[in-house]
Chains A and B, each alone.
Chain A
């Protein structure tokens, strides 16, 4: 009787000790990390170094360094990479090239590619960095999240100068924080412009929104602009001149101002036509599905969206009928104003917890190099950030590229404009509510909403 509970206790205890000891061992191992290199080393030697992947000596040097890394990990280099599902097949071909280029008898490279959309990669890295990919493709707005959590590695000095020299100045500036380079630019099309059906609109029609809506309504079709999505909607706030900044982890967005109200009223003016020449939200199925379906069944004649939908739209209405242009002007405060937008980049980042930091950096650099950016454009239609690649004729003549170039003067970088708190502030509901109410919301109510959203951003 007396020892009834002690058996249970003894068993619990032994099992716990076993598990604890087990966990203790493996935990301890992982906690070990080298201390930072002396600061003096980062400025010598490598600073003047220029990397040329076609130079055998350079390749040999890289291989030697990778071999050292492999030696520490049992002769293996095992990398994991994340990219969007549409890009998987293409990126895998590049990875095969990488393996061939850096093949060596001293180690064996394996690269596992897994699906993680660019819009969520940053969040996923931050959530579980030790389990995340070594190299990941992400949209530039997430750099702030990654930096805040300290989960992204600085670009190694060995490659940094090359990256800075080869890519456009804008793409470098969004990859930089406190004058340190953190990412390898990959594509410059993480922004939006307008695709339209040439059979419905002439080149002159697409200049202003009101004309477009009228024309579309006459044809029984709609112009699509996703006002219920903060990424698109924010274009209106930029147009009205609101200050939207994200610096040192602080979000500024002057939405509760007269400018903010002007933007909202301009949206209201357009949203009045919801269902009659204009469509302001995709419902629950999301942008891509809505646009695909709209061009396919003829309910859409124009859509504000990005390059990734180009192939689908072309398939639906025929290559020849697809036009691309910068965003139209909108009526704001009684005058036509050019609609602003977010212009962004897709970048490659390296995880700070990578067991193969140098190999990972090499892979990232390789994927973002000039030759591969050109290949990426040719196969996937994604616009390069590499200056030389972007200057190629075939790319320069691409309507989508032209549209992006035309919109550039009105495009704002995401990373320095908005942080995570901006998206979760509920800002999207302003446009969303306007669309639902067909623009019929009183000014005072809009003012309250704008002020509330602004307040939500101050954490």
Chain B
């Protein structure tokens, strides 16, 4: 008796669970369709035979010529944009990562008089988005003759790195202090502790910082658009692609824009997907271990 009752209960429960699962599958599928539709549209348009904006959901024909245009048309120096962005991204990545590690190690592991003051100052300064003072920053670059130069971008992207210490500091805080103390008893200096003990343990945070700072310049439009003026030799990918959509270019270069966007999105997407678990542990301050 009890057995049959249990089985019917179980099967009723199972049926209900099956139903909820089915509903979840349907909702997820619909959502995924909505989410990837614009991306699919972009990819399809990049193969479209038209040059202008298409008003259709699906392309009129198939061609690879826009991908060729990217590397043959002198008006679309795509390779140049890629190279510029890569150079800027690489250098800001190296400088920023070094700075972040230096600052967060000092603020997390070392104790000195003005430490608290620096922490508070950093918190407040960090709330002032760089581009709010971009007119002033531009004037400074102009005085240094850096406006229109890639170096100006590298400086802008990495000079604020000192403020990005929160995530890395949170990480260093979780490394047991007993490690330092043991090393100190053996006569190690702060410098040695940094290189020998802390750095080897910081791989996740180094990867996280390096990737975020590397990805930044690929997506920034604000600073490039204000700093580069007419110097189209130094355009980055974001500015170059954006101008393909202005009134002057869009009727002949729209599909070229799509091709350029797809081509740049591929490596960035791969990097991001690789980085996502570091990203999660970064923003939750270690509440979740990646």
Contact = CB atoms under 8 A, between A and B. Distances in A.
A and B touch in the complex (CB under 8 A): yes
A218 B51 CA distance: 29
B42 interface: no
Interface in A355-398: none
B229 to A, nearest CB: 5
Interface stretch (A55-63, A124-132, A190-198, A199-207): A124-132
| Secondary structure class of chain A's binding surface, majority of residues | helix
Given A4-B113, A293-B53, A288 B250 contact: yes
A285 interface: yes
A346 interface: no
Contact of A85 (B113, B145, B249): B249
A312 B52 CA distance: 11
Contact of B112 (A4, A286, A291): A4
B52 A292 contact: yes
A12 interface: no
A367 B266 CA distance: 45
A128 B229 contact: yes
Contact of A116 (B52, B230, B247, B251): B230
The residue among B249, B250, B251, B252 with the most chain A CB atoms within 10 A of its own CB is: B251
Tier of interface size on chain A: 35 or more
A26 interface: yes
A127 B245 CA distance: 23
B254 interface: yes
A115 B247 contact: no
A403 to B, nearest CB: 21
Interface string A164-201: 00000000000000000000000000000000000000
B220 interface: no
B133 interface: no
Interface string B43-56: 00000001011010
B248 interface: yes
Interface residues of B, number: 26
A351 to B, nearest CB: 12
A293 B55 contact: yes
A317 to B, nearest CB: 14
A296 B229 CA distance: 34
Contact of B144 (A23, A86, A291): A23
A287 B247 contact: yes
A329 interface: no
B178 interface: no
Contact of B53 (A19, A26, A285): A285
Contacts of A422: none
Nearest to B56: A297
Contacts of B112: 4
A26 B146 CA distance: 12
Interface in B119-155: 142-145, 147-148
A13 B22 CA distance: 68
A46 interface: no
Nearest to A118: B248
B75 A88 contact: yes
Interface string B63-79: 00000000000010000
A27 interface: yes
B246 interface: yes
A289 interface: yes
Contacts of B147: 128, 131
A15 interface: no
A238 interface: no
Interface in A279-307: 285-289, 291-293, 296-297
Contacts of A292: 52, 251-252
B248 A117 contact: yes
A268 interface: no
Interface string A1-33: 100110000000000000100110011000000
Interface string A60-87: 0000000000000000000010101110
Contact of B75 (A85, A124, A127): A85
Given A128-B147, A131-B147, A293-B53, A288 B247 contact: yes
Interface string B208-239: 00000000000000000000011110000000
A88 B76 CA distance: 13
Nearest to A299: B55
Given A88-B75, A117-B248, A288-B247, A296 B52 contact: yes
18 contacts: A4-B113, A5-B114, A19-B144, A23-B143, A26-B143, A27-B143, A82-B230, A114-B231, A117-B246, A128-B142, A132-B230, A285-B53, A286-B247, A288-B251, A289-B254, A293-B55, A296-B52, A297-B55
Closest 7 CB pairs of A and B: A286-B247, A292-B251, A289-B250, A289-B251, A114-B230, A288-B251, A23-B143
